[in-house]
């Protein structure tokens, strides 16, 4: 186990097959660490700006300074009410769900060693939403306490399915093939979801926004219901980081380093299920967040999963908040669903990733 | 995962039952089993008996479903009344109206749309050498829908403008997808992935267009987006039919080239085909076919993907079965439309929803089988 910890600290060296003493990177270790801390601070600043924008922009703008003051000293004015009744809950929701989606993407990418893995692209969100829609159609009840469990069930089935497609079997599956399988699954599941929704229009009257992914009008009740599960998922992800670091060397090497491969896989899928199921139950299927966020995080801090997860939490929050701000201002005074904006900015990112000559396996 | 056709090429002939999903693979025909030849003087026609049998069955199926669609409905019509309406001797003018001006154009529209989508899917799957390379997966359908939506939302255009918009959208999307995925030579799988990304972006753009539309146009846009044969009129059907006839002629002209290109561009060139030119012509034709279908009925998903797959499974043919794909597409759309009309009667579902869910189930089953075989 000690060597695993050592590797967890220096996965980059281990991957280059260099013994820990030798210098491999152009940046010496202390500089590398300092860069990571700088990135962390930078991302925090970006996140803070996103929170401020989210409080300030909307169908009725509140000046940044005024929003800041009203946040701590509510004065009963219209602006203050809007801020505390609408914008603050919405921002909380985006923070929680965004972190879940970002880390779920990072977990999937690390487990499948595939930079194209994303809960949206691989159909996990679609599985969760199909299960939710089915449960609402069958029981006629739209309570999050009931359909949250269906969301977990759907997400679990979809993640196991995708993982079997992607990682089982004799030959190593290329990133491309896994992505194609995921896209096929997710297209199929969303078509089924659409069918159920269109066939039960009355039941889904209040669900229309949810189907495309929306943060509008989500109550604290919903937030508090999903919060424990997302927190559990995030903790699980952090606890799994060292094992995933070792598995990044390949299953065989990971096993020889003392990692219980099967347990790691099961726990990772559990964490992904918790995060995606809860996020989808809360705001509907939103894709492409988990694709871009881990990619950016790796670009900033390298391949150490512990850092990648921490940064994915922050970047996921910021990404979703910015998407939500754009969704609010792009068709003022109306607003569109955040899922649409997430696809609008995330899908070109996917194209750019795919266009690179060779998609490297992680 | 759906198999890569290229990897299968070495195993011609030996591939057993149900293993002929991929494009351009199958029997070499050296055995000559299961084939018949008709000779009339200098003209000879060779065909596969199984394929012919399947096609006859498909035609019968289409006729049966069409007849059922004429008879079944909220307003019940008997067989005699249908016959009388066809002869123009119906006593009840309401019956004649329902048969000739409501149900029949709808059925014909379904047949045309299905055939166009089936052929378009078969063309793209062959040209991209990839069973997933059909226009609904690689985003062309979404692009055509974007074009049509722009016409509806921004210009409030009519039928012809809608068709032109869909064609323009489809062509631009294809140019974009190919341009972005071209990297020294044939794009292969990158084409599909880039297409998926572009498709997702355009899907978001479509939702945005619907939200931004003024109220009257938005209703029309939402209705159209679901994909429905509901409002088909003879005028639209005639227009689409005429264009599709021209496109069918183009496909016949290039049919031989397509067959050669299924074995790769190099082989095609050796066989005397101008591969690049044929590819461009066929691609343009495929996009036109798909766009015409979309402008008539809205985006009807998965038919272009599933019809060529199914026909290959059933007939176990080599190469591309264009006629079979057309018939299979028609059968799929016409029967899905009947299901869509009746399953929640008197409420009507959009046909696109039915094809979407059926196609989705088919795709999942396909992937599951593929996975099980890979495990073995």
For an interface test with A, which of B184, B197, B226 has the most A Cβ atoms less than 10 Å from its Cβ? Answer: B197
Of residues A236, A210, A92, the one with CA closest to residue A144? A210
Q: How confident is the prediction along chain B (376 residues), in pLDDT tens digits per residue?
A: 344 443 333 333 333 333 333 333 333 333 456 677 777 777 666 667 777 888 889 999 999 999 998 888 777 788 888 888 888 777 777 888 888 888 888 999 999 999 999 999 999 888 887 777 788 888 888 899 999 889 888 887 777 888 899 999 999 999 998 888 876 555 567 788 888 889 889 988 888 888 777 777 777 777 777 777 877 788 888 888 999 999 999 988 888 888 777 777 777 788 877 878 888 899 899 999 999 998 888 888 889 988 988 888 888 765 567 888 999 999 999 999 998 888 876 777 778 888 888 887 887 777 777 666 655 5
Half-sphere exposure of B137 (CA within 13 A, CB side): 31
User: Measured between alpha carbons, how far is B321 from A305 in angstroms, rounded to an integer?
Assistant: 50
Q: How many residues does chain B have?
A: 376
For residue A288, give how far its alpha carbon lies from the nearest alpha carbon of chain B (Å). 10
B350, A344: Cβ pair inside 8 Å?
no
Of B1, B194, B198, the CB nearest to A181: B1
For residue B40, what are the β-bridge partners?
B43
For residue B349, give how far its alpha carbon lies from the nearest alpha carbon of chain A (Å). 7
The more confidently predicted of residues A175 and B209 is B209
User: Measured between alpha carbons, how far is B353 from B299 in angstroms, rounded to an integer?
Assistant: 10
B193, A344: Cβ pair inside 8 Å?
no
Contact A349, A288 (CB under 8 A): yes
Of A192, A198, A331, the CB nearest to B360: A192
B360 vs A contacts (CB less than 8 Å): 187-192
pLDDT classification of A20: cutoffs 50, 70, 90: very low
A191, B360: Cβ pair inside 8 Å?
yes
Angle between helices A124-139 and A261-283 (to 10 degrees): 50
Q: What distances in angstroms separate CA A244 from CA A239, A252, B142, one per listed residue? A: 10, 13, 38
What chain B residue is nearest to A161 in terms of C-alpha separation?
B368
A&B contacts, CB < 8 Å: 132
A355, B203: Cβ pair inside 8 Å?
no
A170 vs B contacts (CB less than 8 Å): 374-375
B353, A195: Cβ pair inside 8 Å?
yes
A181, B301: Cβ pair inside 8 Å?
no
Residue A165 has pLDDT above 70, yes or no: no
Helix (H, G, I), strand (E, B) or coil at B38: strand
User: Measured between alpha carbons, how far is B136 from B134 in angstroms, rounded to an integer?
Assistant: 6
Bridge-based pairing state of the strands B35-40 and B43-48: antiparallel
For residue A317, give how far its alpha carbon lies from the nearest alpha carbon of chain B (Å). 21
Task: Give the count of beta carbons closer than 10 Å to the beta carbon of residue B190.
Answer: 20
B1, A191: Cβ pair inside 8 Å?
no
Does the structure's ipTM exceed the value 0.85? Answer: no
Residue A320 has pLDDT above 90, yes or no: yes
- pLDDT the model gives residue B1: 38
For residue B48, what are the β-bridge partners?
B35
A169, B371: Cβ pair inside 8 Å?
yes
Of residues A343, A15, A29, A24, the one with CA closest to residue A186? A343
What chain B residue is nearest to A116 in terms of C-alpha separation?
B193
A185, B363: Cβ pair inside 8 Å?
yes
Q: What distances in angstroms separate CA A50 from CA A24, A275, A285, one per listed residue? A: 37, 22, 22
Q: In chain A, what is the straight-line distance between the N-terminal and C-terminal CA atoms, in Å? A: 23
For residue A200, give how far its alpha carbon lies from the nearest alpha carbon of chain B (Å). 10
Structural domains in chain A, CATH included, are 43-52+88-354 (1.10.3470.10)
For residue B52, give how far its alpha carbon lies from the nearest alpha carbon of chain A (Å). 32
Q: How many residues does chain A have?
A: 362
Of B196, B198, B359, the CB nearest to A183: B196
A348, B197: Cβ pair inside 8 Å?
yes
Of residues B149, B152, B155, B189, the one with CA closest to residue B173? B149
A99-157 confidence digits (pLDDT tens):
999 999 999 888 888 888 888 888 888 888 889 888 888 877 667 778 888 889 998 88
Q: What distances in angstroms separate CA A179 from CA A148, A175, A288, A359, B218, one per listed residue? A: 27, 6, 13, 11, 34
pLDDT classification of A271: cutoffs 50, 70, 90: very high
Contacts of A38 (CB under 8 A, 6+ apart): none
Contacts of A217 (CB under 8 A, 6+ apart): A209
A180, B189: Cβ pair inside 8 Å?
yes
Of B2, B194, B201, the CB nearest to A355: B194
Q: What distances in angstroms separate CA A174 from CA A32, A167, A185, B171, B371, one per listed residue? A: 31, 10, 17, 31, 14
User: Measured between alpha carbons, how far is B75 from B42 in angstroms, rounded to an integer?
Assistant: 54
User: Measured between alpha carbons, how far is B140 from B175 in angstroms, rounded to an integer?
Assistant: 10
User: Measured between alpha carbons, how far is B28 from B236 in angstroms, rounded to an integer?
Assistant: 43
DSSP secondary-structure letter at B76?
A: -
- pLDDT the model gives residue B27: 37
B137 interfaces chain A, CB cutoff of 8 Å: yes
- Cis-peptide, bond into residue B265, ω within 30° of zero: no
Residue A9 has pLDDT above 60, yes or no: no
Q: Long-range contacts of range B333-337, CB-CB < 8 Å, 24 or more positions apart?
A: B333/B110, B333/B111, B333/B113, B333/B114, B333/B117, B333/B229, B333/B300, B333/B303, B334/B62, B334/B65, B334/B66, B334/B69, B334/B107, B334/B110, B334/B111, B334/B114, B335/B61, B335/B65, B337/B69, B337/B106, B337/B107, B337/B110, B337/B229
Contact B334, B118 (CB under 8 A): no
Q: DSSP H helical segments within A10-143, as ranges?
A: 11-15, 29-56, 64-72, 78-82, 88-112, 124-139
A180, B180: Cβ pair inside 8 Å?
no
Of A168, A173, A331, the CB nearest to B212: A331
B353 interfaces chain A, CB cutoff of 8 Å: yes
A181, B201: Cβ pair inside 8 Å?
no
The answer to whether the Cα torsion of A313, A318, A323, A324 is positive or negative is positive
């Amino acid at each position: 186990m000690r060597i695993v910890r050592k590797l967890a600290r220096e996965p980059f060296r281990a991957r280059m097959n260099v013994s820990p003493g030798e210098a491999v990177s152009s940046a010496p270790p202390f500089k590398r660490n300092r860069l990571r801390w700088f990135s962390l601070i930078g991302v925090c600043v970006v996140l803070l700006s996103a929170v401020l924008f989210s409080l300030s922009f909307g169908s009725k703008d509140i000046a940044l300074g005024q929003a800041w003051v009203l946040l701590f000293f509510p004065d009963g004015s219209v602006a203050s009410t809007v801020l505390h009744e609408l914008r603050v809950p919405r921002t909380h929701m985006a923070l929680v769900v965004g972190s879940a989606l970002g880390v779920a993407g990072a977990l999937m990418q690390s487990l499948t060693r595939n930079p194209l893995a994303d809960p949206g692209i691989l159909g996990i969100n679609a599985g969760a939403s199909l299960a939710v829609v089915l449960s609402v159609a069958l029981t006629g009840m739209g309570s999050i306490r009931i359909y949250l469990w269906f969301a977990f069930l759907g997400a679990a089935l979809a993640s196991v399915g995708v993982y079997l497609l992607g990682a089982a079997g004799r030959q190593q599956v290329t990133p491309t093939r896994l992505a194609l399988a995921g896209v096929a699954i997710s297209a199929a599941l969303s078509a089924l979801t659409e069918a159920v929704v269109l066939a039960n229009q009355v039941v889904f009257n209040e669900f229309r926004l949810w189907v495309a992914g929306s943060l509008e009008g989500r109550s604290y009740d919903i937030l508090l219901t999903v919060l424990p599960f997302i927190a559990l998922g995030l903790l699980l992800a952090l606890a799994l980081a060292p094992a995933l670091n070792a598995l990044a060397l390949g299953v065989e090497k990971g096993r020889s380093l003392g990692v219980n491969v099967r347990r790691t896989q099961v726990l990772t899928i559990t964490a992904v299920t918790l995060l995606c199921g809860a996020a989808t139950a809360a705001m509907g299927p939103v894709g492409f967040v988990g694709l871009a966020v881990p990619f950016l995080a790796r670009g900033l801090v390298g391949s150490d999963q512990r850092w990648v997860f921490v940064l994915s939490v922050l970047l996921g929050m910021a990404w979703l908040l910015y998407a939500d701000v754009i969704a609010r201002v792009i068709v003022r005074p109306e607003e569109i669903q955040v899922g649409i904006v997430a696809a609008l900015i995330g899908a070109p990112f996917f194209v750019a990733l795919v266009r690179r000559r060779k998609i490297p396996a992680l | 995962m759906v198999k890569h056709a290229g990897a299968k090429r070495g195993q011609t002939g030996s591939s057993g039952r149900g293993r002929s999903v991929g494009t351009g693979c199958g029997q070499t025909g050296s055995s000559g089993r299961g084939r018949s030849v008709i000779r009339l003087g200098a003209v000879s026609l060779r065909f596969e008996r199984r394929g012919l049998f399947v096609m006859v069955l498909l035609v019968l199926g289409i006729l049966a479903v069409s007849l059922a669609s004429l008879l079944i409905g909220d307003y019940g019509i008997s067989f005699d009344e249908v016959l009388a309406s066809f002869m123009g001797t119906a006593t009840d003018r309401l019956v004649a109206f329902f048969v000739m001006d409501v149900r029949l154009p709808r059925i014909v529209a379904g047949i045309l749309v299905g055939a166009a989508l089936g052929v378009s899917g078969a063309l793209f799957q062959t040209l991209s050498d990839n069973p997933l390379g059909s226009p609904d997966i690689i985003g062309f359908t979404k692009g055509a829908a974007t074009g049509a939506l722009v016409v509806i939302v921004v210009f409030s255009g009519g039928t012809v403008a809608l068709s032109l918009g869909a064609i323009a959208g489809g062509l631009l999307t294809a140019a974009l997808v190919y341009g972005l995925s071209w990297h020294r030579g044939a794009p292969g799988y990158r084409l599909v992935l880039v297409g998926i990304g572009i498709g997702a972006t355009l899907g978001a753009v479509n939702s945005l267009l619907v939200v931004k539309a003024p109220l009257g146009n938005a209703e029309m846009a939402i209705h159209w987006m679901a994909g429905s044969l509901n409002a088909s009129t003879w005028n639209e059907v005639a227009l689409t039919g005429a264009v599709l006839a021209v496109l069918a002629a183009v496909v016949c002209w290039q049919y031989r080239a397509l067959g050669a290109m299924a074995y790769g561009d190099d082989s095609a060139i050796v066989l005397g085909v101008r591969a690049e030119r044929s590819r461009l012509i066929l691609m343009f034709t495929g996009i036109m076919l798909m766009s015409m279908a979309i402008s008539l009925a809205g985006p009807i998903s998965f038919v272009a993907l599933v019809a060529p797959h199914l026909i290959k499974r059933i007939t176990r043919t080599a190469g591309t079965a264009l006629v079979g794909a057309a018939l299979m597409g028609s059968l799929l759309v016409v029967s899905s439309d009947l299901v869509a009309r009746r399953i929640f009667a008197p409420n009507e579902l959009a046909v696109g929803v039915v094809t979407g869910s059926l196609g989705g189930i088919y795709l999942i089953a396909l992937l599951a089988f593929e996975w099980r075989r890979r495990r073995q």
